[in-house]
Structure 1
Amino acid sequence: MARKKVISLNPKSAVPKYRQIIESVYSAIERKSLKKGDKVPSINQVCAEFNLSRDTVMFAFNELKSKGILKSQPGKGYYIASTEIQLEERVFVLFDELNAFKEDLYNSLINSLKGKATVEVYFHHFNYKVFKNLITESIGNYTSYLIMPATFDNTSHLLSKLPQDKVYIIDRLKPDLEQYPVVYQDFEQDFYDALVEGKEMIQKYRKLVFVNPGGKEPAERSKGFKRFCEENDFRYEIVKSLNGVKPSLWEAYFLISDRDLVEMVKIAKYCKFKLGKKFGIVSFNDTMLKEVVSGGITTISTDFTEMGKTLADMVVTRDKSQIRNKAQMIVRNSL
């Protein structure tokens, strides 16, 4: 009888060889090619077939023994001791940066996976070299990979080194990553929908100004803002910074940067503009602080806590959906 093909290795894969051996045995058990009591190839056979060092194969077999999957019998070799595979769920999370609203996402994810997985979080800070190195170093060490590409485009060649069925994308729907499950924001539509939702309050303003610094910020927001203003005959302006801007009464400012938000609140206070009456401010990405600043700042924000829960559920259930995490306008005194 021909020996069962148990071990399969891909020499081009970046996954370490010892990890491929372990995953091969798990896979054979899952598809019932290996049953309790079945013999597996010997260390010498695996070394010879795949031109591996004895230490590499021994490392893999020892880990399988420590998990109770393999047992050895002196002079006879290795056998399957148990088919009860209990994979320790280890989740690799790669964010762009940590800020107040990202912390809500992080805490929600951690709390939702508590007792179900070990989570390790890293940050690339919009540095592609750091992004690349962290992903490369993570290969084969985790059971799930949650990755926030942020402003990076054309990363599919890098992410393809990871097992496709274990990768989840966070926050942005990237054309070159359409094969992966994702929880994303539709930045253009979210801004447009929020403005439509708040149109009755916005109508009193003669001009709408969107301060979009660009860079790491999604460009799609400008499209949603422009579309709303032109469809509804609002005077509008899109600027990169507050430099040279002289706010006037009956204007509403939409601010991405919290630094710009603080500056605009100070300007309004200096000019004695009463927020929400004849001068409006709207910020992006809600935080607890914005609930109380200047009597409450209106925000346009997705629910980052809900995003964390959704991501955790996808990891646990292996859901492969592409889910939009919608934003809404949270109305407070400043509008």
Structure 2
Amino acid sequence: MQKVFDKIQSLEEIPGFSKHERLVQGFINAIDEKLLRQGDMLPSVNNMIKETGFARETIVKGYKELIERGIVEAKNRMGYFVANENTNQKLTIALILYAFDSVQETFYNTFRAALGADVHIDIYFHNNNIEIFETLVNKVAGRYGMYVVAPLPNPKTAEILKVLPINKFLMIDRFEQMEGDFSYVVQEFEQSTYNALIKLNDTIKQFDEFVFFSRPDSDAPKEILASFKKYVTGMQVNHSIKSKYLSGSVEKGKVYFLTNDTQTWMLLKDCKKQNLVLGKDVGVLSQDDDPIKELICDGITTYSTDFSLMAQKAARFVLTQEKVRDVIPTILIRRNSL
């Protein structure tokens, strides 16, 4: 370890280098020259004070920057360790999403492009499982410079997220209330769903029945079901709620509302088999838009938030660390299917 201290001290001769910069660059040089390898333990703060003569605040600031760049990680009650030998990156981000579907892919691609090459992203998926979510949050805590998290609705979520530094944390996609003045860029489900259905009301009423598929154990927001019930009750629409679409069960004269893409594709396949004309024989409304829904079957009507805009705002927060509290609007996109 003496060679590492020598690296830090050797930078004293460089004009304009602060003690903080000397400490950070000294460790980087030691890693680049293989004096330190991934998994190696760094000196404690007290040991650094003794060997370098730097103030405690300077050393803590230096270790904090190395953590934010993903080069060093802090392990609770154990100390600081080399986490990554790639010292060129300026910042590392833990990105926790639901799953890698087309919507999340749109978010990720825009987010990745907006951040630039110097930022490293590690991506994790919790698949709407609270145990996996808790494991992931505990795993990333203390290892990254920023944390961008799509939470899941669960009574334990707010408590789980407490381990993340609130000034380095951004909530995306769905809003979950938690303590502190935290930042978020999210979408809204209840009022936006109701508004979309009201705009479609005249068309929906041309069909015999409005069928909504709502799986009790799905990751679809519960607010959507609440809005559906409010709409059909208030507008006196003949309706039914089913747990899932069964292959071959599509019927002429009905309009179908789906939040799951796999079931949407099944229904569209059945429409084609039975020569049912979308928008005339059968109506289809799908949550969340993507390029496929614009092209398939001459266009599927959707209502969706702008996930590219959400990603751009998330990237801005990461790069500027300016507090943000935005709800991205949800818009109805009318196409051939309804």
Counterpart for residue 260 of structure 1 = 263
Shift of 1:182: 1.4
Distance in 2 between the 1:197 and 1:240 partners? 25
Matched, 1:301 2:304: yes
Distance 1:306 1:172 in 2: 15
1:315 is aligned, of 314, 318, 323, to: 318
Distance 2:179 2:106 in 1: 25
Quick one: which amino acid aligns to residue 233 of structure 1? Q
Distance 1:231 1:191 in 2: 14
> Where does residue 55 of structure 1 map in the other structure?
43
Q: 1:194 to 1:59 in 2, by over 3 A?
A: farther
Does the C-alpha gap of structure 1 residues 226 and 245 become closer, same or farther in structure 2, counting only changes over 3 Å? farther
Contact 1:222 1:238 in 2 (8 A): no
CA distance, structure 1, for counterparts of residue 221 and residue 47 of structure 2: 46
Deviations 1:137-196 (A, max 9, x none): 222221211111124332222221221111111111113357422122211112111112
SS at match of 2:245: coil
Change (3 A) 1:178 1:125: same
Distance 1:308 1:206 in 2: 40
Partner of 1:172: 174
List runs of 5+ in structure 2 lacking aligned partners: 1-16, 21-40, 69-89
Could you tell me which of 125, 134, 137 is aligned with 2:136? 134
| Rounded Cα–Cα distance in structure 2 between residues aligned with 1:245 and 1:172 | 33
| Structure 1 partner of 2:14 | none
SS, match of residue 217 in structure 1:
coil
Contact 2:48/2:54, CA 8 A, preserved across alignment: no
Per-residue deviation at 1:103? 0.1
Which of 210, 222, 225 is equivalent to 1:208?
A: 210
Q: Which residue of 1 aligns with 2:80?
A: none
Aligned match of 2:160: 158
The alignment's TM-score, normalised by the length of structure 1, stands at 0.72
Q: Which amino acid aligns with 1:297?
A: I
In structure 2, what is the Cα distance between the partners aligned to 1:212 and 1:149? 20
Aligned to 2:72: none
Residue in structure 1 matching 2:146, options 144, 167, 184: 144
Name 1:24's counterpart in structure 2.
none
Q: Hey, what does 1:41 align to over in structure 2? A: none
The amino acid that maps onto 1:163 is P
Query: What is the RMSD computed on CA atoms of the aligned residues?
Result: 3.2
- Residue 44 of structure 2 aligns to a residue in which SS? helix
The residue number in structure 2 matching 1:46 is none
Question: What residue in structure 2 maps to residue 90 of structure 1?
Answer: 92
Alignment map for 1:1-335 (pairs within 5 Å): 55-57=43-45, 72=52, 77-78=53-54, 88-115=90-117, 117-176=119-178, 179-215=181-217, 216-243=219-246, 246-335=249-338
Distance 1:104 1:232, change over 3 A: same
- What stretches of structure 1 of length at least 5 have no aligned partner? 1-34, 39-52, 63-70
Q: Equivalents in 2 of 1:288, 1:314: separation in Å?
A: 27
Change (3 A) 1:54 1:235: closer
Kindly state the Cα deviation for residue 219 of structure 1 after the two structures are TM-superposed.
Answer: 1.1
Tell me how far apart the structure 2 counterparts of residues 292 and 178 of structure 1 sit (CA, whole Å): 43
SS in 1 for 2:43: helix
Provide closer, same or farther for how the CA distance between residues 134 and 230 of structure 1 changes in structure 2, counting only shifts above 3 A: same
